[in-house]
Amino acid sequence: MTSGLLFALVGVALFALGVAGVVLIAQLPRRILAFNLMGSGAFLVLVGLAQRGDLPDPVPHAMVLTGIVVAVAATALALALVRRLHALTGRLQLPEDDGD
């Protein structure tokens, strides 16, 4: 098993754990962490698939680096919104839909 394949398999496992967390967890901070876990899994898959023989392809690595920067900014925004929701409502969960 090559290191690229190992990275890809671990990335798939992290992505699956993140999806399960987003679907099953109701609290918003934990859901944001699960979403970050999904992103980390996707980044690992891209890095793992970028290995072609002995030389890695630099384009997917640059895309992953850009994705990490965007993910950090999106996480900061999401946590700021959750903090504001907690300050306004005192809850860390979204209100339930009435189903009009």
Q: Could you tell me the CATH number of the domain that includes residue 67?
A: 1.10.287
Question: What pTM was computed for the model?
Answer: 0.83
**φ, ψ (nearest 5 deg) of residue 51:** -80, 115
pLDDT, residue 37, reads 95
pLDDT, residue 99, reads 59
Q: Does residue 97 sit within a domain?
A: no
pLDDT, residue 72, reads 96
Q: Does residue 61 sit within a domain?
A: yes
Q: Does residue 70 sit within a domain?
A: yes
Q: Which residues contact 16 (CB under 8 A, 6 or more apart)?
A: 41
pLDDT along the chain (100 residues), means of 10: 87 96 92 95 92 82 94 96 92 72
Range of the structural domain that residue 66 is part of: 3-89
Per the structure, the count of domains in the chain is 1
pLDDT, residue 100, reads 55
pLDDT, residue 97, reads 59
Q: Which residues contact 47 (CB under 8 A, 6 or more apart)?
A: 4, 7, 11, 60, 61, 64
